[in-house]
């Protein structure tokens, strides 16, 4: 049996979980999130906990059990605390700035790259760092990955946009003439 699926999810105060026929809606101080329901998984709200069980022991039900519990736990944590990813811009003349709902990246191209932020995502910059935050874990990660894709870090000098906790494997350059 799924070890993750067996764990009940605690519902913090200020968060409301509503189980519907096709989706589960989670409301909290940071917004509202929805996650789809799978027919092989049964959800039960018992007091201040949500218990996730499967209908049978089929391969599909077992595979969905832990997944659906984790998706619901991410929604609950997102509307309570939120998620954030930090990117770092490294390079001479490389800059990042936030203008309303746009992130403007100056990363060595002939023009600054403007990245439009989707609804529910906020960004702020502190020097060469860009902090992306929101309540939806998947969306925060996707936006951070798209911004990183504009100029991924290169292995020789390490210039580019990288995650703050990312380690770049460096390569030796050309060896000098002998």
Q: Which of 110, 91, 81 is nearest to 160 (CA)?
A: 91
Would you state the pLDDT for residue 140? 96
- Say whether pTM exceeds 0.75: yes
DSSP 29: T
Instruction: Provide the 3-class DSSP secondary structure of residue 83.
Output: strand
Would you state the pLDDT for residue 144? 96
Confidence of residue 41 (pLDDT cuts 50, 70, 90): very high
Task: Give the residue, 176 or 55, on which the prediction is more confident.
Answer: 55
Instruction: Tell me the pLDDT tens digit for each residue of 136-157.
Output: 999 999 999 999 999 999 999 9
Would you state the pLDDT for residue 173? 84
Confidence of residue 134 (pLDDT cuts 50, 70, 90): very high
**Mean pLDDT rounded to a whole number for the chain:** 92
What is the torsion angle, in degrees rounded to the nearest 10, for the CA atoms of residue 134, residue 137, residue 139 and residue 143? 80
Would you state the pLDDT for residue 178? 56
Confidence of residue 3 (pLDDT cuts 50, 70, 90): confident
Would you state the pLDDT for residue 174? 84
Would you state the pLDDT for residue 2? 63
CB 71 within 8 A of CB 35: yes
Would you state the pLDDT for residue 5? 84
> Which domains, ranges and CATH numbers included, belong to the chain?
3-80 (3.90.930.12), 83-163 (3.90.930.12)
Calpha distance 135→122 (Å, rounded): 10
Whether residue 34 is predicted with pLDDT greater than 90 in this model: the reply is yes
Would you state the pLDDT for residue 81? 94
């Amino acid at each position: 049996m799924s070890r993750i699926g067996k764990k009940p999810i605690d519902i913090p105060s200020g968060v409301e979980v509503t189980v519907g026929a096709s989706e589960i809606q989670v409301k909290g101080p940071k917004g509202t999130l929805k996650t789809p329901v799978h027919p092989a998984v049964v959800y039960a709200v018992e007091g201040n906990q949500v218990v996730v069980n499967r209908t049978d022991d089929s391969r599909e039900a077992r595979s969905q059990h832990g997944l659906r519990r984790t998706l619901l736990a991410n929604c609950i944590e997102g509307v309570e605390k939120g998620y954030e990813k930090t990117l770092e811009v490294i390079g001479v003349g490389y800059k990042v700035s936030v203008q309303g709902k746009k992130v403007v990246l100056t990363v060595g191209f002939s023009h600054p790259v403007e990245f439009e932020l989707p609804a529910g995502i906020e960004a702020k910059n502190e020097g060469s760092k860009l902090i992306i935050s929101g309540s939806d874990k998947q969306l925060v990660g996707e936006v951070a990955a798209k911004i990183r894709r504009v100029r991924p870090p290169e292995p020789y000098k390490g210039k580019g946009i990288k995650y703050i906790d990312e380690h770049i494997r460096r390569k030796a350059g050309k060896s000098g003439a002998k």
